[in-house]
Amino acid sequence: MEESIRIRKEYKPVELMKWVKELEGEFSSKDVAVELPRHLKQRIVDEILERLRSLNNNSTGRAKEQEAVENWRKERLKVRGTSNSTISHEEAGILARALESDWDAFSEEIGLWIPVNVTNEEHVDKPEGVEEFEEDILPGRPLQPECNAELHTDYGGDAVRWGLTHHKDSAADCCQACLDQAKSAKEGEKKCNIWVYCPSEFGCHSPDIYQHKYMECWLKYAEKPKPTFKDRYPEWYRNSHPSAPVIIPWASGVVGA
């Protein structure tokens, strides 16, 4: 019996088993999500927003914005561990692991959302004399110039129509609903001059108690329209609202100004 046990041990594939365990450990380590420190996450968002602002000045489309963000990611990966890096070696390693992981998950974590390009067929029933609509602003049909669409912007105001039960297929439809309400409002009723739309399939954050969903369309009125938040939520706000993303998901516009 002892002789049989000794023989089995001698022929046991020890090296193979050791290699398999190492391989399992390698795969399990890759599955661990990379958690970025708040200050590093803030720095990343600032860099990306700065890159996007430089593009917006040239009226570029969504594809260019996505390309710019991807180029930023590649540049960040190149400078890791070099003397050109503006962050510590340890933080550069954390950032590199995050950038090499699932990019969609990473973008969602920092609150980055860029609308995808949507190809719209040109309709021949456009009234004569009407200028070309703005293109590549938001998914769906193009918005009219008078919609004055602003990405990553949330306006306050008195609700003329609650968005919780008022959904529209696109930002253009939401804007049109605001224009229509202003025209049909009775004497003494507030006329819509602000539309606020949630274009994110993941829903849109707001400081109130409600869970705001995709395609919500809020119609509002304000005597002097003013953005509540623009571009990104400030750090003091995120400190008191831990679930808030960095970049504001809402799209808005002021009409009839």
Domain map of the chain by residue range?
38-110, 145-254
The three state secondary structure string of 48-105 is HHHHHHHHHCCCCCHHHHHHHHHHHHHHHHHHCCCCCCCCCHHHHHHHHHHHHCCHHH
CA 230 – CA 207 distance, rounded (Å): 14
Two tokens, residue 35:
């958690």
| Fold exhibited by the domain 145-254 | Hepatocyte Growth Factor (3.50.4)
30-54 confidence digits (pLDDT tens): 444 567 777 777 777 788 788 777 7
Judged against a pLDDT cut of 70, whether residue 69 lies above it is answered with yes
Mean pLDDT of 205-218: 92
Judged against a pLDDT cut of 50, whether residue 164 lies above it is answered with yes
User: Which of the pair, 90 or 145, is modelled with greater confidence?
Assistant: 145
Judged against a pLDDT cut of 50, whether residue 127 lies above it is answered with no
Q: What is the mean pLDDT of the chain?
A: 76
Which of 9-23, 63-77, 184-198, 206-220 bottoms out in mean pLDDT, i.e. has the lowest?
9-23
Whole-model pTM: value is 0.49
